[in-house]
Chain A
Amino acid sequence: MTPMFSHIPADQRPTLEIFVDGQSVRARRGDTVSAALLASGLDVRRDSAVSGVPRLPYCMMGVCFECLVTIDGVGNRQGCLIPVAPGMRVEIQRGKRELGK
């Protein structure tokens, strides 16, 4: 799938590697997890906790909680507020969070 967003050519920041559902993704240093996911071209839609319908980030500023994602094993984190880090493991959430995750 072509990504909805692309980096402008002027963006010369170094990249780093994160893993999205186990798959290696190059992200730019300084990007938030949500920005990296939206630029990845992967299907990064999560399922809502109530009816399981697909959702993507809406506000990108910490308000809407549509960007919830599992980061390094911890569920329901706001991906739009957390910068990517080398080796970070991101999982797209399917429905409600599991206890212990």
Chain B
Amino acid sequence: MSVLRSDNYDLVVVGAGPAGIAAAAAAAKAGATTLLLDENAGPGGQVWRGLTSTPLTNRDMLGKDFWDGQLELEKLRSSGAEVLQRATVWSIDPSLQVGISHGGASRIVQARRIVIATGAMERPFPIPGWTLPGVMTAGAAQTMLKSSGLVPSEPTVIAGQGPLLWLLAGQILRMGGRIDVMLDTTPKGAFAAALPKAFGFLTTPYFRKGLKMLREVRSKVRIIKHVTRIEAQGDGQLERVVWETAGGKRGEMASRLLLLHQGVVPNVNLAMSTGAAHDWDGLQLCWRPRLDDDGQTTVPGIYVAGDGAGIGGVGVALARGRVAARAALTSLGKSGQDADLSAARAELAKANRGREFLDLLYKPAEQFRIPEGDTIVCRCEEVRASDIRSAVDIGASGPNQLKAYLRTGMGPCQGRLCGLTVTELMAKARGTTPEQIGYYRLRAPVKPLTLSELADLPMEPEAVKAVVR
């Protein structure tokens, strides 16, 4: 892989969403040699996905928040930061060596400081039948919309909770796509007061009249409230969605597409694999890295910014990115950064006060986080909730012992789609807390790479001695 200009950088930033773009731009502008790595074809992360390539060129379609990304991207372009797309970071070690896979080859780069900005992912939504073809996340549908201009064209059910669900339904409908039924899983009581408030935080020129859009969705989509059970059914393919409400009413709908969403959680795999300590967030029900005021983890020199540090939304992500970059530069003795750092901290404090993305404060109901019966928990290894409960019965005390018994989390997704479920399910089964149960121990490579990529890296005599004996 010869595309990189150097083997050494002051700052390596992983992830080109808002936080990563802001961090790389701030660092490079201040004179640090900066490398921004991202595994997608273009920059933007999830919220600005397709920023440079979307076919939805009519600016009203995706709204001001989306196109604001171009301003940040422009700052990045003029900063002098080196940007590499389709580059997967598969390893970060405590000496700040970064393993990068790009175009089928790998390379190790030495960083002096690292900002991990790997963002968020949608919370697992383990309902019966969620592995059937045709069951996807709502975020997946939004990705298809933003980057490919694709909308559902068959009978479609959307299920879950939070403003993103409504936002997406509105976007899809406005672009001529199809949403037939919305299954709202918000527990009874919490919803009515919170929704208009949440929409306040999503207000943009495009969705300035959030309630109008809400009405629009309501006029075109059959809304089922207080849904307490959802099941995806079909033989090798989603054929129908079955549900039940708090009032005991049952319903079903023939459908080939079910879109699920119950909030987003930090994508912690890379940060955890460095050995950085993480704590359970009892409000957002997820793990988040233990950070100091600068965003630095418990591993010196490694920072986390953006939603990977705890869900905050775009504004917080941008501010966290700038704080981390400037703090990293200050620690490297790059002079004249202190003023910038305090400005960035002020920006962060302000963004936090705004508390965007209130949807994440909606606590998804327990039955949608901790499945019963033979519902699949680990999609890769096809491990079911009942298997996990049996393993707890024979003595599995945490996720790592569970791996040994059942291979849970040992497939290609490396626990991303089952980790939270496993922690919460085991905590409930053992009558203890998620903190006590803990999480999978993660190690490099956090994403697969080919054996030849690994074998082609430079040979160290010490390592040869450790193997050839």
Contact = CB atoms under 8 A, between A and B. Distances in A.
| A–B: direct contact at CB < 8 Å | yes
Interface string B121-155: 11000000001011111011001100111111110
Nearest to A29: B53
A101 interface: no
Given A53-B236, A64-B416, A11 B55 contact: yes
A51 B41 contact: no
Interface string B391-402: 000000000000
Interface in B52-78: 53, 55-58, 61
Interface string A78-91: 00111100000000
B168 interface: no
B267 A5 contact: no
A50 B144 contact: no
Q: How large is the interface on B (under 10, 10 to 19, 20 to 34, 35 or more residues)?
A: 35 or more
A50 B150 contact: no
**Most chain B beta carbons < 10 A, residue from A5, A11, A66, A82:** A5
Contacts of A60: 136-137, 139-140, 143-144
A59 B152 contact: no
B256 interface: yes
User: Which size class do A's interface residues fall under?
Assistant: 35 or more
A32 B382 CA distance: 26
Interface string A47-59: 0111101111111
B175 interface: yes
Given A2-B153, A28-B148, A50 B175 contact: no
Given A45-B133, A56-B133, A59-B121, A7 B149 contact: yes
A25 B349 CA distance: 50
Interface in B130-188: 131, 133-137, 139-140, 143-144, 147-154, 175-177
A10 B55 contact: yes
A28 B86 CA distance: 19
Interface string A1-41: 01111111111110000000000000010111001001100
B94 to A, nearest CB: 25
B379 A66 contact: yes
A54 B153 CA distance: 21
Identify the interface centre among A9, A11, A76, A82: most chain B CB within 10 Å of its CB: A11
Interface of B: 39-41, 46, 53, 55-58, 61, 86, 121-122, 131, 133-137, 139-140, 143-144, 147-154, 175-177, 236-237, 256-257, 267, 379-382, 411-413, 416-417, 448
